[in-house]
Structure 1
Amino acid sequence: MLLDYLVPVLVSMLFYCGVNIVLHYVVIPPAKLSEREKKDYFGEHISLIHSVFAATLAFTVYYKEGGINYDTPITMAHIFVIGHSMGYFTYDAIYAELFGLHDWAMRFHHIFVILGGFPVYFSSNGGSLGITCCFLTEISNPAMQLRLILKSQGKTDTLLFKVSQFLFASIFLFNRGVFGTFINYNSWQYDLNFMISISISMLYGLSCFWNYVIILMLLKELKGKGVTLKEKFIIKFIHFLKKYQKAIIAAIFIWATFMPHVFKYMGCTKHHIKIRNFTII
């Protein structure tokens, strides 16, 4: 039984090692990049490939099962989809450490994904919950990785860069901010293993953290668009966010962990978005 879980992870890790080797023969990084930046450039291509595969696999199973089912037993389809992504994230964390690509935010990201993802992966139920989270989190990543690749190529003034930046930010903020809140709340309404529910809250907290980072990024983009009252407000808001950054990050994870309990004890029940017999969230 344990082998059923380990094989997808190990195969995925070996697959992305192989992809890395192939990319070094077919992708030529811009000459202006440093050696470290070239390693990151290859990593962006691998992440793009993973996000497309992961989102496609997760959506296929999600659609065939009629949407999300919070407390159904885990199946081999769930194990395959989640194992594929957990193998990639394990590979990516090792790759980033080996070549010095980790900053504190990305190391933080990898730690939380691994700590939050494996308890769901090794559970007896919650597999549908896991693949839905996989789809929602990965569907915005192709646009993000394309944006990073174009940035490395110095193509930040192109229409493709602007479109990919808009798609990434809008899909990311909506999926993780709106749908993610529903999933985190509902996961505590079902009879799931405590480790699954707390893992979902950890992953939701991580999503909220990246929402905060993206909002900060968007505010910086808006800054300098004209000396107006709006710009003055944006500048003050950026300064406020930076000044109280640690408190804001702590508040994000307190919200992610305790919000479901507060609403549950207030008497709130399950909340789903459905179309006929298809449970979207």
Structure 2
Amino acid sequence: MEEYVIRIVVVGVMSWSLIFMITRRTFASYSFEFSNRLVSTLHATVAVILASLSVQHWSCPVCPVASYSSPQQMKTLAFSMSYMMYDLVCCHFDKGVGLDNAIHHLVSIVGFGAGLAYQRCGSEMVAALWITEISSPFLHLRELLKEIGFRDTDLNLAADICFATFFTLGRMVGGPYLAYVTLSAPNPFLIKVMGLGLQLVSAFWFYKIIRMMRYKLKKRSSSSDKKFS
């Protein structure tokens, strides 16, 4: 693994931790999770921008397949790996990490580590990063809105719908295609396993999101019926 990659990961973990501590002090009246979600939103936004800048051919965003990673792709993956390492530890200081979330973090960290060690599959991994993080700002926004007093409002429902839409398009439309490309290309076995694992976790979350949206819409419909009855 290149020395500059290790440096980005180490500095990144320390930087995310420092940003969290500053955020926690600034928003001391809110919960631990509130501050961590602000940090997560920052990472998701920057990660999508860096991933977009790392695409080598916009006519085929996942091309060249199974090729050596560009320096920009390596830096982008190292940046996000540092965040995943920080977040996995940080979550344990609050309510702990659910099994599905822990698996997601571990799959991501191992996947990033394998990609950085092999210095290959940069196109596929950057595409995976873009797909997985494009919905994250809306995921965190819906929870942030609840804590500042907008629970069960139209604004919160709009955030729920945006999250569900971006998640579905990214992980359940783009995700299966990317998984197929990754598995069918001559990529290292570990990269294929991580790609498949990430898609399986996404499918499980998709099931949970469908249930959540059905409940929310049914609840909203019931409230509207009572209001006009």
The runs of at least 4 aligned residues of structure 1 exceeding 4 Å deviation read 63-66, 224-227
**2: distance between equivalents of 1:193 and 1:60?**
25
Distance 1:225 1:144, change over 3 A: closer
Corresponding residue to 1:68 among 48, 62, 87: 62
- The answer as to whether partners of 1:177 and 1:208 remain within 8 angstroms in 2 is yes
Partner residue, 1:171? 166
Contact 2:172 2:203 in 1 (8 A): yes
User: Counterpart in 2 of 1:253?
Assistant: none
SS of equivalent residue, structure 1 residue 71: coil
> Alpha-carbon deviation of 1:28?
4.2
For 1:98, what is the secondary structure of its paired residue?
Answer: coil
Q: Return the TM-score normalized by structure 1.
A: 0.72
Judge conservation of contact 2:78–2:112 (CA < 8 Å) in 1. no
Residue 38 of structure 2 corresponds to 45
What's the CA shift for 1:90? Answer: 0.4
Report the residue type matching 2:14 in the other structure: L
Does the Cα contact within 8 Å between 2:135 and 2:166 map onto a contact in 1? yes
User: How many residue pairs get matched?
Assistant: 220
Within 2, Cα distance between the matches of 1:71 and 1:92? 29
Alpha-carbon distance, 1:50 to partner: 0.6
Residue aligned with 1:29, SS = coil
Q: Is 1:216–2:211 an aligned residue pair? A: yes
Cα distance change, pair 65–219 in 1 and its aligned pair in 2 (3 A): closer
SS of structure 2 residue aligned to 1:223: helix
Residues 239-269 of structure 1, C-alpha deviations (whole Å, 9 max, x = no match): xxxxxxxxxxxxxxxxxxxxxxxxxxxxxxx
> Are the aligned partners of 1:136 and 1:176 in contact in 2 as well (CA < 8 Å)?
yes
1:1-281 → structure 2 map (5 Å cutoff)? 1-30=1-30, 38-62=31-55, 66=59, 67-69=61-63, 70-224=65-219
Coordinate RMSD, CA, aligned: 2.0
Does the 8 A contact of 1:29 with 1:41 survive in 2?
Answer: no
Query: Are the equivalent residues in 1 in contact too, given 2:100–2:201 (CA < 8 A)?
Result: no
**Identity across matched positions, percent:** 23
- Deviations along 1:51-97, one digit per CA (max 9) or x if unpaired, are 00111110111266652212221121111101111110100001112
Contact 1:71 1:125 in 2 (8 A): yes
Shift, 1:171, TM fit: 0.6
Partner AA of 1:105 in structure 2: D
Structure 2 residue runs of 5 or longer lacking an equivalent are 223-229
Partner Cα distance (1:218, 1:226) in 2: 12
Deviation at 1:226, TM superposition (A): 5.9
Report Cα offsets for 1:2-52 as digits up to 9, x if no partner.
42331221121111112112212322434xxxxxxx111111111011100
Distance (Å, rounded) in 2 between the aligned partners of 1:186 and 1:47: 28
